[in-house]
Amino acid sequence: MHMRQQPPVKPTVLARPSLNDLMKIIAFLIEHKANCNLQDRDGNTIVMRAAHKFDFTMLSTVIGEGADPSIPNKEGDTPKSFLEKNRSNKPKGYSKEEMDFLIEKAFEPPKEKGE
């Protein structure tokens, strides 16, 4: 008996650019009011995609633009809980203290302009 293969997960419009580090496209989409909280079939948002890549610049950018970092995926992980559970998979060159700092900094509420 052959098991039927699942088709590959199709990323959302905002998740696809994050996979390719296309910050300019993300900025354009956000500027034109694209929904930053859309989820793919696995429940991942653009914030979760950035977390999967340990891309703290993208995390801060999309959260600062209104993406909700508290949305869990189908496994029940939020972007922050994913990063905390996967610290050992961090990019080389970061100490534990640096990772802790980056994780906390990425999820701080955005500052008002002029602060």
Dihedrals phi, psi of 50, to nearest 5 degrees: -65, -40
Q: How far apart are CA 37 and CA 35, in angstroms?
A: 5
- How many distinct helices (H) and strands (E) make up the chain? 6, 0
Considering the four listed CATH numbers 1.25.40.20, 3.30.1330.10, 1.10.3720.10, 1.10.287.3510, the one that applies to the domain covering 15-106 is: 1.25.40.20
Instruction: Tell me which amino acid residue 29 is.
Output: L
How crowded is residue 77: how many other Cβ atoms within 10 Å of its Cβ? 19
**Structure tokens given for 44:** 């991942």
10-residue averages of pLDDT along the chain (115 residues): 53 55 71 87 90 84 86 94 81 77 78 61
For residue 39, the model assigns a pLDDT of 92
In this predicted structure, what is the pLDDT of residue 104? Answer: 84
